[in-house]
A and B are shown apart, each in its own frame.
Chain A
Amino acid sequence: MKLQFKKGSAKSAVVAFLAIIFGLLAGALLIAVTGSDPFTGYAYLFKGGLMSTERIGDTLATSTPLILSGLSVAFAFKTGLFNIGASGQMLMGGFCATAVGLTLPLPFIILLPLEILAAIMGGAIWAVVPGFMKARFNVHEVVSTIMMNWISYWIIYYAVPAYFKGQFLETESRAIPDAASMKVNWLTHLFDGSFVNLGLFLAIVAVIIIAFILNRTVMGYELKAVGYNRFAAEYAGINVNRNIVLSMMIAGALAGLGGATMYIGNASNIQIGILPSQGFDGIAVALLGANSPLGSMFAALFFGLLYSGKGFMNAMIQIPPEIADTIIATIIYFAATSVLIERLVNMLRFRKRGQ
């Protein structure tokens, strides 16, 4: 496959890079205010994510659900939809996968594909409902996907204690058997006991497939046409409503898969009362990644690094882990105001030429 880099992508990369730099600078200021040395702080932050094979594995695993939720949001964005419900879709996908894993006593090689399928379907169904509502009744997807988040939240709240109650705790499901987990021995050994798992490969494959769909296929052409200009799409005889539903379905499937990588990959059970924040982080990932599949993957890896290093930073020099969250939030701010950064880049270039 010929990967295409259009003119826009170099610029987006620069903007994303600058957003990260500014975010880190702002974070340095915060660290300094809390009375620590920013350089030491950052050193520990990145060490915490990268200093050993095991930690690198953990970082990759932390990034995995983010890659998929970011991809989900980015894909929907590309087709003109704002999928704010990746969280609920992840939860539903993860729940379906967990349910299959806990119910069917099958060998790994059969069980895992079934779990993945269940996760994809769960997420897809959770997104098709808002997609259909948008296409048929023009209900805005931001509203309906948020509502779907809460529906999944309460369904899991009820269903987990009712059907899959944990051995000791009411608030989480039983742990899935080894045969139902995405963790495999060779990978765990390769990364010195890290919790990295097959989910990472699923995420990478998803990135490639989505990039391929968007750039090379008739389906991607139609989806983007609808997203960029639905009036022109309608004029050309493209079925706008069908594409809206299809787009949401694929976005939901991606988020659902992301849920599986969380609940039967990184973890081995599902808790009640928690909407996975990774779903919302997906919005930030997509934003920083300029809605491109590859960009989202790199953005997710970076966020994963921050998330996985913040504990270590806190343990070593008492910088509260909230600082890492604040840095992420600041980066999102800068990414969201990418127009300003673009203007800054243009201004610098202009000055240089003026001299």
Chain B
Amino acid sequence: MEYVVEMLNIRKEFPGIIANDNISLELKKGEIHALMGENGAGKSTLMSILFGLYQPDNGSIRIKGKEVRISNPNVANDLGIGMVHQHFKLVHNFTITENIILGIEPKKGLTLDLKSAAERIRLLSEQYGLNVDPYEKIENVSVGMQQRVEIIKMLYRNAEVLIFDEPTAVLTPHEILDLMKIMKNLVAEGKSIILITHKLKEIKAVADRCTVIRRGKLVGTVDVAATSEARMAEMMVGRQVSFKVDKSESKPGAIILQVENLSVLNHRKVLGLKGCSLDVRSGEILGIAGVEGNGQTELVEAITGLTRVESGKVLLKEQDITHLLIRERIEAGIAHIPEDRQKRGLVLDYTIEENMVLEVYDRVPFSNKGLLDRDAIRNYTDKIMKNFDVRAGEGAESFARTLSGGNQQKAIVGREVELNPELLIAVQPTRGLDVGSIEYIHKRLVEQRDRGKAVLLVSLELDEILNVSDRIAIVSNGELIGIVNAAETNENEVGLMMAGVRKGESN
């Protein structure tokens, strides 16, 4: 069998960490090859080496049997390797065509030849079933469409090997299905795909073979069809993983959070949340289910104080907090694991220890009379890092930017739990994390519940909502559709309600 890409015995070391230790990966022509590993296992490093962003310390790379040295991404491009990044690199006020030709603009005399480029894009779009309109502007298209633009960008540059870096992290369930179809079309047309992911379901659905790495070392390459999900999870994490969240019956106590008839404007200045009422009791996890952008953000921001309330009330332990400042709400007992850990959750240019006191730096013992107490902050950080298994190259002094996504998230979860809140709001707490970390964070959420905290869980992953919550509130189009008990419902019922069908309406 002919291999299009062979990476042999790759080794790459960074200060304090061996990112890749003797890893080999072989990609057959026309296959979808999953590259799986926990956050920080070394997947991105390995692919960055293939894409020419890093040079390996050791090992060799062969493309179609010929040994090559990929010194920069341009070389990778010339060799037919294209990467679809997790964070898209697109100019928002350019059209799709303009974005795709950026850097290799076709010219007719002195002017751009947009027409023939658009035509070629249209043909590619048809060939691979991408359904892209070459003249639409990026700012007007969905995230799923932006991803397809990135794919066409690679095809336009005649890429033979496409690397997808966690492509489904930003997509809705429906868009994920579309993407899988597209990937199958691509391999049917003779392209080869490397799929970086840690989502077992997706690997099962599309991949032919799967290479697993753990902590920089190769665990093995397996045939996906012949390997169970549980087995692959075990390979990745290094121990058996339970997919089911282990928890006892909830024992709800007093009402902690009460939301009364709450309406909130979204950033487009229209009502994003309309007359929502719900409450969360101590000792229970209330899950909010819904498709992205159906009022979850507005609800959370209104409770935490990040946005103004249009009408209605928010009460915490019977105290009206509707108009309190953000800091006052934190002090009243609200902790918040934010949806976007890099935008809101962390100051990336601060060290971990500086981040761990983001909400409490002005309290004793972390500061006294306006002066920071570095020792107290260090001790506090060490405690959180130990309790929540946050791994960082240089410990508490590592810059937050240098941590892997999973460790960043664990640090945030640790920080918020350590606030010892009455109400813990967790928004997408496991987004983009591997099964090991997910299991860990779910355990911690349940643990908070068992300690008598009220937990509000917002997630776009239906599995997570069904598994972790005790009760589930479903929102659609800014309205609360209904609240069901997790034990008495199923994916179908919740799915229908997410689509806006009220309970009892369907039959």
In the complex, whether A51 has a CB less than 8 A from a CB of chain B is no
Most buried by B among A217, A219, A235: A235
B370 & A218 in contact (Cβ 8 Å cutoff): yes
Which among B305, B347, B371 is the interface contact of A233 at CB below 8 angstroms?
B347
Q: Which residue of B lies closest to A232 (CB)?
A: B347
Stretch from B32-40, B153-161, B268-276, B353-361 contacting the other chain: B353-361
In the complex, whether B386 has a CB less than 8 A from a CB of chain A is no
Q: Which residues of B contact A229 (CB under 8 A)?
A: 343, 346-349
Contact A232 to B362, CB < 8 A, known contacts A219-B370, A350-B55: no
Which among B349, B359, B371 is the interface contact of A218 at CB below 8 angstroms?
B371
Cβ proximity bits A231-265 to B, threshold 8 Å, 1 near / 0 not: 11111111100000000000000000000000000
A237 & B343 in contact (Cβ 8 Å cutoff): no
Q: Which residue of B lies closest to A238 (CB)?
A: B327
In the complex, whether B326 has a CB less than 8 A from a CB of chain A is yes
Most buried by B among A221, A228, A233: A221
In the complex, whether A225 has a CB less than 8 A from a CB of chain B is yes
A216 & B371 in contact (Cβ 8 Å cutoff): yes
A235 & B336 in contact (Cβ 8 Å cutoff): yes
B347 & A228 in contact (Cβ 8 Å cutoff): yes
In the complex, whether B338 has a CB less than 8 A from a CB of chain A is yes
Which among A216, A234, A350 is the interface contact of B326 at CB below 8 angstroms?
A234
Contact A218 to B372, CB < 8 A, known contacts A225-B350, A235-B336, A235-B345: yes
Q: Which residues of B contact A237 (CB under 8 A)?
A: 305, 325-330, 359
A232 to B306, CA, bound (A): 11
A219 to B372, CA, bound (A): 9
B306 & A217 in contact (Cβ 8 Å cutoff): no
A232 to B358, CA, bound (A): 9
A225 & B371 in contact (Cβ 8 Å cutoff): no
A236 & B372 in contact (Cβ 8 Å cutoff): no
Contact A221 to B354, CB < 8 A, known contacts A228-B349, A235-B338: yes
Instruction: Report whether over half of chain A's contact residues are helix, strand or loop; otherwise say mixed.
Output: helix
Which among B55, B326, B372 is the interface contact of A221 at CB below 8 angstroms?
B372
In the complex, whether B344 has a CB less than 8 A from a CB of chain A is yes
Cβ proximity bits A204-223 to B, threshold 8 Å, 1 near / 0 not: 00000000000011110110
Q: Which residues of B contact A239 (CB under 8 A)?
A: 325
Question: Measured between C-beta atoms, what is the minimum distance from A41 to chain B in Å?
Answer: 40
In the complex, whether B367 has a CB less than 8 A from a CB of chain A is yes
Q: Which residue of B lies closest to A236 (CB)?
A: B358
B362 & A218 in contact (Cβ 8 Å cutoff): yes
Question: Measured between C-beta atoms, what is the minimum distance from A191 to chain B in Å?
Answer: 37
A211 to B350, CA, bound (A): 16
Contact A225 to B358, CB < 8 A, known contacts A217-B372, A218-B367, A237-B330: yes
A206 to B388, CA, bound (A): 41
Question: Measured between C-beta atoms, what is the minimum distance from A59 to chain B in Å?
Answer: 35
Q: Which residues of B contact A236 (CB under 8 A)?
A: 326-327, 330, 358-359
Q: Which residues of A contact B367 (CB under 8 A)?
A: 217-218
Q: Which residue of A lies closest to B377 (CB)?
A: A221
Contact A235 to B306, CB < 8 A, known contacts A228-B349, A229-B348, A350-B55: yes
Q: Which residues of A contact B346 (CB under 8 A)?
A: 229, 232
A222 to B359, CA, bound (A): 10
Contact A235 to B344, CB < 8 A, known contacts A217-B370, A218-B372, A228-B350: yes
Cβ proximity bits B284-319 to A, threshold 8 Å, 1 near / 0 not: 000000000000000000001110000000000000
Q: Which residues of B contact A234 (CB under 8 A)?
A: 306, 326, 344
Q: Which residues of A contact B345 (CB under 8 A)?
A: 232, 235
A236 to B326, CA, bound (A): 7
A72 to B92, CA, bound (A): 35
Q: Which residues of B contact A216 (CB under 8 A)?
A: 371-372
15 A-B residue pairs with Cβ-Cβ distance under 8 Å, sorted by A, are A216-B371, A217-B371, A218-B371, A219-B370, A225-B350, A225-B358, A229-B346, A233-B347, A234-B326, A235-B345, A236-B327, A236-B358, A237-B325, A237-B326, A237-B327
Q: 16 other contacts beyond A229-B349, A237-B328, with CB at 8 A cut-off?
A: A217-B370, A218-B362, A218-B367, A224-B350, A225-B347, A225-B358, A228-B348, A229-B343, A231-B343, A232-B358, A234-B326, A235-B336, A235-B345, A236-B358, A237-B326, A237-B329
Considering the complex of A and B, which 6 residue pairs feature the smallest CB-CB distances, nearest first? A237-B327, A237-B326, A235-B344, A236-B358, A228-B349, A229-B347
- Residues of B that sit less than 8 Å from A by CB: 55, 304-306, 325-330, 336, 338, 343-350, 354, 358-359, 361-362, 367, 370-372
- Residues of A that sit less than 8 Å from B by CB: 216-219, 221-222, 224-225, 228-229, 231-239, 350
